[in-house]
């Protein structure tokens, strides 16, 4: 089991890294959107490529960060019924969901999409819009994203089995990270205390 837990930690680190980098795609999409709007308004010049790259980045954020979202326990869960059960029963329900729904769904999607990616790549499929982009890179985001999600599903499965065996703490607990507002409040408080000390001198 220790080898599986090591694999789980490796998968977690991978999705942590990918998720943090995927966050920059939001910034890139916002920057491109702003530049596109400015150019369109100021010079009356538009580009379908600029519009489509925003869609590609948007797709990248959701697909590449799906595994990271699962790692952070941020996927939507319906706990109206499961919340009434003991933690061990909840974990068993999640194991059932991962094995019977998540992993088969991931495998099915990858199996269906990979031939489309290969076909788009070999044919050089382009957008039907004038000046649009080549299509295979955005198609490729689907199997990549679902692979990361499937790997994280395996990691979560390992952690839940390990929990039932008494080897690790509850893997469903979210990391108690500070929000941006809490961090800002701490910075303001620290500066106020520093200013107060300076004034006292």
Give every CB contact of residue 63 below 8 A, 6+ residues apart in sequence.
141, 142, 144, 145, 146
**Token reading at 142:** 């689907």
Give every CB contact of residue 98 below 8 A, 6+ residues apart in sequence.
153, 156, 157, 160
Confidence (pLDDT) at 179: 57
Give every CB contact of residue 175 below 8 A, 6+ residues apart in sequence.
72
Helix (H, G, I), strand (E, B) or coil at 184: helix
Distance CA 36, CA 58 (A): 16
**Token reading at 64:** 């590449």
User: Which tens digits make up the pLDDT trace of 143-170?
Assistant: 999 999 999 999 999 999 999 988 888 8
* pTM for this model (two decimals): 0.79
Q: What number is the average pLDDT over the span 52-81?
A: 86
Distance CA 180, CA 189 (A): 14
């Amino acid at each position: 089991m220790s080898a599986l837990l090591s694999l789980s930690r490796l998968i977690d680190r991978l999705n942590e890294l990918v998720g943090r980098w995927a966050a920059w795609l939001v910034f890139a999409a916002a920057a491109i959107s702003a530049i596109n709007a400015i150019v369109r308004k100021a010079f009356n010049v538009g580009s379908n490529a600029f519009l489509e790259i925003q869609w590609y980045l948007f797709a990248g954020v959701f697909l590449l960060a799906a595994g990271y979202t699962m790692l952070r326990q941020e996927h939507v869960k319906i706990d109206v019924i499961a919340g009434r059960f003991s933690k061990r029963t909840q974990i068993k329900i999640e194991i059932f969901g991962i094995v019977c729904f998540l992993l088969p769904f991931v495998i099915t999607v990858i199996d269906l999409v990979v031939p489309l990616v290969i076909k788009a790549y070999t044919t050089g499929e382009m957008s039907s819009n004038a000046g649009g982009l080549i299509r295979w890179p955005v198609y490729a985001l689907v199997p990549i994203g679902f692979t990361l999600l499937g790997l994280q599903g395996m990691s979560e499965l390992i952690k839940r089995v390990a929990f039932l065996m008494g080897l690790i703490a509850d893997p469903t607990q979210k990391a108690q990270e500070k929000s941006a507002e809490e961090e800002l409040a701490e910075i303001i408080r620290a500066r106020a205390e520093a200013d107060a000390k300076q004034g006292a001198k």
